[in-house]
């Protein structure tokens, strides 16, 4: 969410951001609502001032004057009540539009409608050259007893899967590798809730934009669990959702709080299951475990001072951690600066890391790193007190340290051998318990 004062003073800039991010939003309508809303609030305050003055004057008036003054105040009450109702409807419409206003992207963000406009800004490692016919992660996983997609579909439905044997220890090993690295880097580890309130997803900016991607748990679950009478606390929660990333939970950890400047930056990392409906990816990557409904991820969230310079410095630090993990795994990767149409409404800057996946013959996205200035903090009301006592909104950042099993695709395919076995990366051998996975 942007400051309405900023929108008033920079309407052309905001309109350009709306256009460049491929959104459909009427900023002029928002500004008109804002003007009408302010006028009504001013009138409401004036009417209240009249009522306050009258309440002091009436006791001192004669009976005739009292009747006249009371009659006047009844008209004021009627007008006040009408304004109150108008403001309720107007406020709902106003907030609905405000929640859709995008952040202003950085000056160096590539402008374009989708990922085709992304710009490569870095690369690591040599693309492996195989002197034998390579296998996909599906072929490798099936032959080596690491992956069972058929039974996964039988149990879970489309995109369901089972990891088996060494795939399980490798899966948790790569997650632990990332988690331990983050703890050493000063991040506070958390296992966050994956069932979250709607307000949490609105706060992170996942709503209203990507609502179709999120699994919703209906109120009916409480009826089954608690009986016909839904407890008051369950009713108050409304609908609950399965988080697609731990980012919303980690952000909401400090919602409606005022932090101290001396404690910034606050660095959190969460390890959790993640759930995504993948509605928007129909027909894309339908085979294997590249695009699935549930997976696990180690996510980083940072709260820092309200400074672009500080945010961008921290964004580079977050990116460095992801790069270190991939380099320790000895996996080739490239970094791309996401375009305006591929970065999401709330992003100021966004970089994806794409790791080489031989069977695809291309890089596949494995990490995402974003700076959102105070766009999320305003929605979640996360502030900090400066040394001089003033109150400001924090800046927020988030980054994927690692996500699995997608990263297993790159590991298996890059480390495959001619005999169909998979060499285990050195940094994962203590978790897997062997150097090579073979039949």
Which portions of the chain are predicted below pLDDT 50? 220, 222-227
What is the sign, positive or negative, of the torsion defined by CA atoms of 338, 339, 345, 349? Answer: positive
pLDDT digits (tens, 9 = 90+) for 102-136: 999 999 999 999 999 999 999 999 999 999 999 99
Active site residues: 276, 291, 365, 368, 406
List all residues 6 or more positions away from 143 whose beta carbon is below 8 Å from its beta carbon: 135, 420, 439
What does DSSP assign to residue 191?
-
Closest CA to 397 of 347, 354, 352: 347
Domain boundaries along the sequence of the chain: 4-98, 115-437
pLDDT digits (tens, 9 = 90+) for 75-104: 999 999 999 999 999 999 999 999 999 999
pLDDT digits (tens, 9 = 90+) for 160-195: 999 999 999 999 999 999 999 999 999 999 999 999
299 neighbors 368 (Cβ within 8 angstroms): no
φ, ψ dihedrals at 215, nearest 5°: -75, 130
Pairwise CA distance, residues 45 & 39, whole Å: 10
Tell which CATH classification among 3.40.50.720, 3.40.50.880, 3.30.565.10, 3.30.930.10 matches the domain 115-437: 3.30.930.10
Residue 217's DSSP bridge partners are: 240
Query: For the whole prediction, is pTM greater than 0.95?
Result: no
The 10 Å CB-count burial string (b at 16+, else e) for 206-237 is bbebbeeebeeeeeeebeeeeeeebeeebeeb
List all residues 6 or more positions away from 74 whose beta carbon is below 8 Å from its beta carbon: none
The pLDDT of residue 139: 98
Record: fold of 4-98? Helix Hairpins (1.10.287)
φ, ψ dihedrals at 262, nearest 5°: -65, -20
What does DSSP assign to residue 269?
E
Q: Are strands 147-148 and 162-163 parallel, antiparallel or unpaired?
A: antiparallel
The pLDDT of residue 170: 98
Structure tokens belonging to residue 308 = 């672009």
The pLDDT of residue 58: 87
Closest CA to 302 of 292, 290, 286, 314: 314
The pLDDT of residue 236: 58
Q: CA–CA distance from 343 to each of 106, 113, 289, 369 (Å)?
A: 11, 10, 23, 10
């Amino acid at each position: 969410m942007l400051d309405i004062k900023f929108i008033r003073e920079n309407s052309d800039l905001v309109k350009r951001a709306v256009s460049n991010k491929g959104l459909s939003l009427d900023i002029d309508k928002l500004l008109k609502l804002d003007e009408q809303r302010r006028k009504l609030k001013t009138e409401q305050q004036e009417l209240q001032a009249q009522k306050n003055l009258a309440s002091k004057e009436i006791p001192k008036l004669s009976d005739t004057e009292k009747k006249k003054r009371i009659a006047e105040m009844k008209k004021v009450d009627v007008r006040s009540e009408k304004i109150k109702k108008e403001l309720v409807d107007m406020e709902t419409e106003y907030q609905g539009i405000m929640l859709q206003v995008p952040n202003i992207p950085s000056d160096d963000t590539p402008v374009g409608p989708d990922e085709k406009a992304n710009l490569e800004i870095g690369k690591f490692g040599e693309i492996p050259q195989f002197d034998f016919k390579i296998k996909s992660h599906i072929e490798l996983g099936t032959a080596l007893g690491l992956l069972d997609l058929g039974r996964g579909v039988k149990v879970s439905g489309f995109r369901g899967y089972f990891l088996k044997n060494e795939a399980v220890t490798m899966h948790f090993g790569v997650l632990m590798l990332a988690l331990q690295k983050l703890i050493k880097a000063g991040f506070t580890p958390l296992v966050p809730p994956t069932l979250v309130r709607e307000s949490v997803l609105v706060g992170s900016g996942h709503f209203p934009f990507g609502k179709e991607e999120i699994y919703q748990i209906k109120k009916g679950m409480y009826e089954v669990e608690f009986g016909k009478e839904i407890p008051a606390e369950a009713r108050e929660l409304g609908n609950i959702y399965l988080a697609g990333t731990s980012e919303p939970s980690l952000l909401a950890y400090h919602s409606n709080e005022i932090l101290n400047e001396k404690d910034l930056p606050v660095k959190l990392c969460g390890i959790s299951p993640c759930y995504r409906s993948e509605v928007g990816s129909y027909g894309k990557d339908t085979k294997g475990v590249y695009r699935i409904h549930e997976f696990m991820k180690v996510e980083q969230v940072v709260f820092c001072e309200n400074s672009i310079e500080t945010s961008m410095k921290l964004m580079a630090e977050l990116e460095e951690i992801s790069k270190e993990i991939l380099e320790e795994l000895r996996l080739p990767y490239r970094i791309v600066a996401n375009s305006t149409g591929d970065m999401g409404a709330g992003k100021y800057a966004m970089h994806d890391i794409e790791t080489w996946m031989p069977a695809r013959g291309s890089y596949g996205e494995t990490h995402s790193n974003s700076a959102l200035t105070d766009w999320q903090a305003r929605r979640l009301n996360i502030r900090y007190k400066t040394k001089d006592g003033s109150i400001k909104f924090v800046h927020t950042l988030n980054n994927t340290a690692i996500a699995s099993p997608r990263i297993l695709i790159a590991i298996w395919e890059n480390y495959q051998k001619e005999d169909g076995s998979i060499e285990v990366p050195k940094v994962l051998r203590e978790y897997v318990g062997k150097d090579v996975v073979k039949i």
